[in-house]
Chains A and B, each alone.
Chain A
């Protein structure tokens, strides 16, 4: 007998796309909610149009990127610009508990599907909107991406080297910090609804949560007038604190030494090389003053080892160290595998492929991979007939009318 999943019976109408929204919905999907993801050939999730593709051949059902994030969801094909689409959505909303969207603000309104409208159909609906800059304000409707927000939210100013330009990330950091925070508030709101019957609209601005992730820097500026800038890998409270070259092509090891105890441990691990006993490295203050020289000397040691063996040696000695891991390293990472943090699945078009598990292990309620990421529109018939009770006749008419989009 299988135990009921935590969110079994919770119904989610999911308009979200390109990572922040889908990642928030993923917790619900992995823990048993029924999630109907709405897309169409006219308006597919951008992830479907993003590499890598199976055999390098593009196609809406061939993206490994989409498959990594979008499992455990049903796909309903629906052309939101079709005049009859709204009716289908409203039926879905009547069915649903939660609506999630992360379009540029104004898009839902344009389709007549903003919170005010949805509430008329279902007063207790909970709607989560995640956006670049929030649902209100003069720049609210300016479309953007989380990647670009990395620069506007202040992160780029603290990434990179002091003598070089600031840097962008290769990933949309504001998306990934927004998703778990939004989900946290969403479940609190769901619980509140169970107790009071009241739904509500949740408006998460990725810009705003980005500032929460820099709060001490904000306070440092407000109180001390100090502007914190990019400073490579250096920390004001630790030395050595950086990334050091190891043996092999582009192999690196991160080492962070905050306390004297950790410094002594590092010295022992390095075999108490004569330079480690020099007075100029004997305290944190002195190590900070002579940091450049210190980093250079540490690297003359690390370069002799491959990073895995080095990290194992350092950790055994009590030094906080880690291999700078590539995706290939993580794919085979023993810790990640041991925790089952990546899942493997059979996808109809891609074949065997990996998708994202959960960052936490819960002792009594496990997340589960029920099905791989859906093919576009794969569950349209099921959703309409089984979940919404649309008759076969009506459904066929809707297909002819193009409600479900081109090619459905």
Chain B
């Protein structure tokens, strides 16, 4: 079989190239430097591979000839709606390489198997059963490489009664329980206006992949990791499941109010101020007495506290017993007070007085945020082909010994075909032309 022939070819020594500063040296973070990842995902799973790439793995994004469906996700660079200018693609494919390969073509599958022979992870987000239908399910991959870890990201998982259900992001937010508790009571439940469900699922998948990786490093055995986007949301439901089980209370959407966590009563979590919004909640319990007092003193110093507010004994202000009426009354003072100040004034005062609150910020404000600037968070990524440098969010974690790499721009369609097919698998230029002609790559 072709794949066996190809797999027997001498592969380039990846580690050596890193040392020599060759083409593959783009990953200087060594944590996963010995790992290769074949990333078959669409927009549902791109972040999983990016996280592994950021940690130093060599991630090869495998696209169907003509380009990945995720390239059709907006927004676009200067609103040019083209496959090579999707900003969604840019964002979640940095530090990856890119090759084209048609898995529907028999030769394409053979080439894929040859790649699998020297691969540590395969990540996919096809409908459950699709890879199997191509003869590329986990069992088939295991036969080629018993150490390979197949990471499958899907709406509901590879097993169970809903495994074949289609789940776009909104549907996962709905079936995962987030939407039911989000929104205003008099309007329909609402989710994020920018897809988040599969980003969470992708990070859950990277976490599970590392469990499998740790196991493999000890036993040599890979396995199939089946991540359900819906089940990922169970991790985020805070107290909602136990609240139903122990108290038979279903948490509902109540606008910007926190329900049934600290208090039986609802606690407001967002207030207007002069130029925007402040996230804050009145807190109970002995540990909050000091900051509550500091806050009331601040209001009082500006003539905005009255006898009632000053008379509250915060050391006895207990969320277990406080009534909704009392909380609402206190919230009324807070509301008035915030309306006399700007976000910046309130945040500054709160920091000085150790009051826990945060302003609502938008992306333009965050781009000039002094905390992020002090941490050197934003990264300029070179896009020489666009004669541009674009500012990206920086590393997702700071590591003292092995800092994450600066990001390299996402690959173009088939950008690394030559490197992988010619230099690594040993195809000739003629072969490549034929494979392209046949629609294999």
Contact = CB atoms under 8 A, between A and B. Distances in A.
B361 interface: yes
Contacts, number: 523
Interface in B209-258: 209-215, 217-218, 221, 223-228, 230-232, 234-247, 249-258
B31 A189 contact: yes
A221 interface: yes
Interface stretch (B102-110, B397-405, B412-420): B397-405
Contacts of B272: 165
Contacts of A136: 374-375
A127 B362 CA distance: 32
A165 B183 CA distance: 11
Contact of A328 (B206, B230, B250, B396): B250
Given A151-B358, A215-B392, 14 more contacts: A144-B356, A161-B184, A165-B277, A171-B178, A181-B207, A181-B397, A234-B193, A254-B173, A256-B169, A324-B180, A324-B189, A330-B241, A335-B157, A360-B204
A275 interface: no
A325 interface: yes
Contacts of A203: 397-400
A281 interface: no
Contacts of B279: 147-152, 156, 168
Interface in A309-362: 315, 318-331, 333-336, 338-339, 341-342, 350, 353-354, 356-362
Contacts of A161: 184, 187, 190
B174 to A, nearest CB: 4
A182 B397 contact: yes
Contact of B367 (A216, A222, A231, A245): A222
Interface in A246-260: 250, 252-256, 258
Contacts of B227: 359-360
Given A187-B211, A224-B79, A335-B156, A356 B161 contact: no
B396 A168 contact: no
Contacts of B167: 320, 322
B366 A184 contact: no
A362 B157 CA distance: 12
Given A258-B168, A341-B234, A335 B161 contact: yes
Interface stretch (A194-202, A286-294, A394-402): A194-202
A209 interface: yes
B385 to A, nearest CB: 14
Given A159-B193, A171-B178, A215-B92, A242 B188 contact: yes
A23 B159 contact: no
A219 B392 contact: yes
B361 A154 contact: yes
Given A152-B279, A364-B215, A359 B231 contact: yes
B165 A322 contact: yes
B165 A315 contact: yes
25 contacts: A7-B211, A65-B242, A179-B235, A184-B209, A192-B402, A201-B400, A202-B399, A216-B73, A216-B88, A219-B75, A219-B91, A221-B363, A227-B363, A227-B364, A237-B74, A244-B188, A245-B188, A256-B169, A315-B162, A328-B244, A339-B231, A341-B234, A350-B246, A361-B225, A362-B212
A208 B79 contact: no
A313 B356 CA distance: 48
A27 B180 CA distance: 27
B34 to A, nearest CB: 9
Interface residues of B, number: 158
A171 B238 contact: yes
A151 B175 contact: no
User: Chain A interface: which size bin?
Assistant: 35 or more
A252 B246 CA distance: 25
B7 to A, nearest CB: 23
Contact of B401 (A198, A231, A237, A315): A198
Nearest to B374: A137
Contacts of B342: none
B230 A324 contact: no
B78 interface: yes
B159 A143 contact: no
B304 interface: no
Interface in B141-199: 156-184, 187-194, 196, 199
Interface stretch (B111-119, B262-270, B428-436): B262-270
Interface string B262-292: 1110000110100001111100010000000
Contact of B372 (A208, A224, A244, A322): A208
B394 interface: yes
A326 B388 CA distance: 47
Contacts of B192: 155, 158-159
B223 A365 contact: yes
B14 interface: no
A67 B241 CA distance: 11
Contacts of A297: none
B377 interface: yes
Contacts of B390: 219, 222-223
Given A203-B398, A322-B171, A133 B371 contact: yes
Contacts of B264: 51
B162 to A, nearest CB: 4
B170 A51 contact: no
Given A167-B256, A184-B206, A219-B392, A363 B241 contact: no
Nearest to A65: B239
A176 B161 CA distance: 26
A296 B88 CA distance: 31
A145 interface: yes
A112 interface: no
A211 B377 CA distance: 10
Contact of B171 (A7, A188, A201, A320): A320
Contacts of A228: 193-194, 363
Interface string B60-104: 000000000000011101110000000110111000000000000
A354 B270 contact: no
**Residue among A58, A168, A255 facing the most chain B CB atoms (10 A cut-off):** A168
A151 B277 contact: yes
**Residue among A198, A205, A238 facing the most chain B CB atoms (10 A cut-off):** A205
A273 to B, nearest CB: 22
A31 B370 CA distance: 40
Contacts of B194: 158, 214, 216-217, 228
Interface in B1-58: 30-32, 47, 51-52, 55-56
Contacts of A326: 177, 180, 244, 250-252
A22 to B, nearest CB: 11
A365 B215 contact: yes
Contacts of A153: 361, 366
Contacts of A51: 239, 243, 247, 260-264
Contact of A68 (B205, B241, B393): B241
A179 B192 CA distance: 20
A160 B270 contact: no
Given A151-B277, A326-B180, A330-B241, A256 B170 contact: yes
Contacts of B138: 363
A233 interface: yes
Contacts of A184: 51-52, 55, 203, 206-207, 209-210
Contact of B87 (A223, A256, A323, A356): A223
A111 interface: no
B351 interface: yes
A309 B411 CA distance: 44
A241 interface: yes
A176 B234 contact: no
Interface string A267-302: 000000000000000000000000000000000000
